[in-house]
Amino acid sequence: MLNLSDNEINCGQDLQNLKSLNQNRLSGWHLSFRNLLLVLLGLFLVFLFLPWTQNVHADGKLTTLRPEQRPQTIHATIAGRIEHWYVTEGQFVKQGDTIVHLTEVKAEYFDPLLINRVGNQVEAKKQAIVSYDSKADALETQMDAMRRELTNKITQIQNKIAQANLKVQSDSIKVLQAEIDLQIAQRQFNGTKALYDKGLKSLSEFEEKRLKLQENQTKIVAAKNQFESSKNDRNIYLSDLQLTQNEYANKIAKTQSDRFSTLSDKYDALSSVNKLEIDKANYTQRADFYYILAPQDGYIVKAITPGIGEIVKEGYPVVSIQPKVDQLAVEMYVKPLDLPLISLGRQVRFMFDGWPAFFFSGWPGVSLGTFAGKVVAIDRNISANGKFRVLVAPDPNEAPWPNAIQVGGGAKGVAFLNDVPVWYELWRVLNGFPPDLYKDLAKATKTKEKEGEKDEEAEEKDEVKLKAPIKNAK
């Protein structure tokens, strides 16, 4: 107050008596609310220091651990027309059970006795091969006979040549003898003529010596003619030898050519037999493809080409099958940013679609309805969706996965990392930092360094132990 007046104003009692003022006073609830806020703030501060398990979330779907047990489609190996179905959708089949029967649609396979006819062709060709072998053997025998006959002919001609050589020698000696006789007759004739001219020999003696000279002259001509005839006979025998060798060489070459032609025909027949046997095997195998069989135990999922009389092309899908599963797995897709945090053996918790679960990502210990798994494989190449595929199998040390889940069902996975305070995790998320990967790397590095130091200490101790016996020996 400004105290401009001397009058005092005391309205304390009046204010207490005012009903409106009493109605506007604060109640005792505001104190309780304040205390509640303080308690909540204290709990929040305590909550900030609670441990929090860092994790990586990823969606996935159920699959199988073994590739051959995943859903597959059975295709028609050959083109055909559907004749009869032996199964229904959802039916369980065993390996080798008949699923569907196909009939032929190609004209070259319509003959119902095609395999038997091809078999007959094979047998005919085999008989032809036997005939070719017999003919080749006969030609070989014929060549052997020709070689023996040639040897005999050559022996005969060589004997004749030897006889001709002897006769030539004999005739040459006769020529020499005739020349000597001629010389003697010539000297006698000359001596007789000289004596006859002197009148010491008679005419009859002279005529006798001249007649003898003429006879010797005739003999030498005959001897030379005989000698030339013998040489001609020898040359004829030599020519016969060459002609005989050439003749039989041509005959043997022709027979050998016929044998090679026969062998060539035989090999052609063998090639035809092999081709026909391949055709027969192909036709037999094709006949087996008329019946599509179950490749393994499983359930028929869907008939892709269901109609009777429908024509399916070669390699066209006919039915899909779900093989019997021995062990389920989950394939989940992780972002490239989170991939370095995933390693083989890393624990993962799953919530399966259709299976009730109560999950706390930061406190896995209080979660309900989740199931454990371990990472068993990580793809080395990114998938089409821009993420990396990770394959997770059930953890044998934890509760088994439910039997009700099926291949293809959805699953939400959470891979657990490090334990950090809640306030740290909130700070990391608000700042967009990755989880504590580098701490794990630092721990691993320190562990390796410690292991290296331990190894060095062990080596030093071993060296000391080795040196001790040497000192004692000294």
Q: Is 356 helix (H, G, I), strand (E, B) or coil?
A: coil
The torsion region of residue 239 among left (phi > 0), alpha (psi -120 to 50) and beta comes to alpha
pLDDT of residue 123: 92
pLDDT of residue 442: 43
Count of Cβ atoms closer than 10 Å to residue 99 Cβ: 20
- Which tokens sit at 472? 């004692």
Burial environment of residue 411 by CB neighbours within 10 A (0 to 12, 13 to 18, 19 or more)? buried
Q: With respect to residue 41, please indicate whether it lies within any of the assigned structural domains.
A: no
Which residue, 231, 280, 328, is CA-closest to 123?
280
The torsion region of residue 73 among left (phi > 0), alpha (psi -120 to 50) and beta comes to beta
Which residue, 124, 106, 82, is CA-closest to 303?
82
CB 361 within 8 A of CB 57: yes
CA distance 451 to 463: 18
Considering the domain architecture, whether residues 186 and 80 belong to the same structural domain is answered as no
CA distance 460 to 127: 85
* Residues counted in the chain: 474
Considering the domain architecture, whether residues 266 and 132 belong to the same structural domain is answered as yes
What's the CA angle centered on 110, arms 109 and 111, to 5 degrees?
95
CA distance 300 to 94: 11
CA distance 320 to 292: 12
- Which tokens sit at 169? 């020698």
Considering the domain architecture, whether residues 84 and 160 belong to the same structural domain is answered as no
Q: Which domain holds residue 411?
A: 51-66+326-449
Listed residues 306, 322, 338: the one ending a domain: 322
Considering the domain architecture, whether residues 62 and 73 belong to the same structural domain is answered as no
pLDDT in tens, the chain (474 residues): 455 556 555 555 555 565 665 555 555 566 677 778 888 888 877 767 666 666 677 888 888 888 888 889 999 989 999 999 999 998 999 999 999 999 999 888 888 888 899 999 999 999 999 999 999 999 999 999 999 999 999 999 889 889 988 888 888 888 888 888 888 888 888 888 787 777 777 778 878 878 888 888 888 888 888 888 888 988 998 898 899 899 999 999 999 999 999 999 999 999 999 999 999 999 999 888 999 999 999 999 999 888 888 899 998 999 999 898 888 899 988 888 778 778 888 888 888 887 765 554 544 554 555 788 899 999 888 888 888 999 999 988 888 888 878 888 888 887 766 666 667 667 766 766 666 544 444 444 444 455 555 555 555 554 444 344 334 433
Q: With respect to residue 465, please indicate whether it lies within any of the assigned structural domains.
A: no
CA distance 470 to 466: 7
Q: With respect to residue 1, please indicate whether it lies within any of the assigned structural domains.
A: no
- Which tokens sit at 367? 């979660």
Q: Is 101 helix (H, G, I), strand (E, B) or coil?
A: strand
**Containing H/E element for 317?**
strand 317-323
- Which tokens sit at 297? 């135990």
**Residue 317 CA neighbour count, 13 Å, CB half:** 9
Measured in degrees and rounded to the nearest 5, phi and psi for residue 163 equal -60, -40
Considering the domain architecture, whether residues 149 and 236 belong to the same structural domain is answered as yes
Q: With respect to residue 382, please indicate whether it lies within any of the assigned structural domains.
A: yes
Considering the domain architecture, whether residues 295 and 256 belong to the same structural domain is answered as no
Listed residues 237, 264, 288: the one ending a domain: 288
Tell me the β-bridge partners of 57: 414
Considering the domain architecture, whether residues 435 and 335 belong to the same structural domain is answered as yes
> What is the C-alpha R_g of the chain?
61
CATH number of the CATH domain containing 346: 2.40.30.170
Q: With respect to residue 10, please indicate whether it lies within any of the assigned structural domains.
A: no
Considering the domain architecture, whether residues 235 and 367 belong to the same structural domain is answered as no
Q: Give residue for tokens 């494989």.
A: 377
pLDDT of residue 429: 66
Tell me the β-bridge partners of 311: 81
Q: Is 43 helix (H, G, I), strand (E, B) or coil?
A: helix
CB 73 within 8 A of CB 317: yes
Considering the domain architecture, whether residues 203 and 251 belong to the same structural domain is answered as yes
Considering the domain architecture, whether residues 313 and 392 belong to the same structural domain is answered as no
Q: With respect to residue 226, please indicate whether it lies within any of the assigned structural domains.
A: yes
Considering the domain architecture, whether residues 306 and 331 belong to the same structural domain is answered as no
Largest pairwise CA distance in the chain: 240
CATH number of the CATH domain containing 209: 1.20.1270.60
Q: Is 193 helix (H, G, I), strand (E, B) or coil?
A: helix
CATH number of the CATH domain containing 309: 2.40.50.100
Which residue, 60, 43, 51, is CA-closest to 366?
51
Q: With respect to residue 73, please indicate whether it lies within any of the assigned structural domains.
A: yes
**What is the count of structural domains for the chain?**
3
Q: With respect to residue 350, please indicate whether it lies within any of the assigned structural domains.
A: yes
